[in-house]
Every structure is written in C-alpha cells, then in structure tokens.
Structure 1
C-alpha cells in the first residue's frame, strides 16, 4: 500500500512540474499592434469606430427609423360579409360563417357572448352587412334590432 501511495504522489509531482514548465515557458500572447489590427480590418472589409462615432451612428439610425415609421400609414384591411340569417338558424352556424370569412376571430366567443347576454332568442332573420372591425357587442346589436 505504501508503494502505491508513493507512486501516486510521485505522479502528481511530475505532472505538476510539467504543467508549471509549460505554463512559464509558453510565450504569452503579445498585445496586438496597430498595424496588425489595421491589416485584420482591411482583410475582413471592416472599419474601426470610436465609441462616440458608434453612438452618433446609432442615434442617427434610431431617428431615421422613427421618421420612417411616422411616414408609413397604418393600413388595416376591413373585411365585409353579407350574412343571411334565416328563421331557425342557430348562432353557432352563422358564427362559424363569420369566422370562416375572417370577420371574427373566434366563433365560440361570439356564441358565448350571445348566450351570456341572453340574446340568442332575440336574433332576427334577415340579411346583414357585418364588418371585421365591429365588436361582438356591435354585431349582437345589429342582429337583434
């Protein structure tokens, strides 16, 4: 047992010595010279900027972005659908038609709204022009009056 421990300790001492020699003999990386940096930048088609120049360019780009956003109008598409409700139609049927026509996002939400406000029996048959910018409340008011 004593021999194994001595061999292990000798191995540790030897490996530590080798690591120490390599560490101290290895040439530490020298700081880059201006010529080396310039050569690298030219080779990779890049330029160096000072912090002040970078900040100025960043602010200029931000202002240009804001101006571009102000110039472009917000255009929203409004879909129009002619909904025909016949006597006996259930809200789930025409709600699915409106969802398929991209007038409302969720047929179940419209049906739920009508049921919650007890409007399902007040819906009148007829032809209605429904727009995609209308709320559930506006659609319900149109269908019940």
Structure 2
C-alpha cells in the first residue's frame, strides 16, 4: 500500500472516531441506571394493561395445566402399553426363537461415501452400529472400493460378506 493511501485511511479512522465521540457526547441519551443506594421506581399499569396481563397469566396457567394433564394421561397409557408389549414379547419368545433371515436392497448413488451404505444397513436392522461397520470398512481399506449400484443383502451376512457384496460392480 502506498503512503498517500495509508494517510487517507488513517485520516478516515480519525474522522470517524471524532464523529462517534461527538454523537456519544451530544446526541446519545443513555438510560438512567439506578445506583446501589437508589431504589428503582415501579411502573404503574393502566387498568387496560392490567386486564391484559391478568388474561395472559390466566391463559398461560390453563395451557400449563392442560399440558400436565396430557402428559399424565400419556404416561399412564405408556405404562399400559409397556405391560401389554412385555406380555406379548414373553409369549413370542416362548413360541419361536428362530430369527428369520431378512433381505433388503441397499442403493448407493454415484459419489456417496461408505457411511451412506452403513447408515442404510443400520436403519434396516442388518447391522447394530453404522459407525462400527464404517470403521471396519476404513480399517480394511474397503471404503474407497464401494461401488454405486443396487445390492441385495441379508441379515445373515458377516461384515466381510457385506463389504464384498458392496464392492461388486453391477
């Protein structure tokens, strides 16, 4: 930057500082702040403002009561549903303990990272944790080899088998 440009820049800063100081001194009216010894004055509301305030407080109280009642009825129904669910789960466990094989189609678009496939598998319940599977792919250098396409996978596959299927070229 040249000397004249720096001089004009510094002159601009000086002028703006003087303008702001003048505004602050002569035009700015700061709100009065009560010191520790002084008491603040209480604002007196008109009758109309007081009625609006009372109406607002009443409405707010009604809304909170309605929300609390709704939460209590919801929690009671959840307890009943949990009991019914636990009973049906116990009867289902006693009947059959063979897990059924689940097959889904995973779709990977062009440019999608390996985490997209991991997320789809986790959402469908084929793997427990998408982060663990993605970490497995990164550790074994499979993440960059995943190809776009549609893949048929099942819940009986291991991480290695899933990775091999996702690396196939459709």
- What's the TM-score, normalizing by structure 2? 0.41
Higher relative contact order at CA 8 Å, sep ≥6: structure 1 or structure 2?
A: 1
Structure showing greater Rg: 1
TM-score, normalisation: structure 1: 0.48
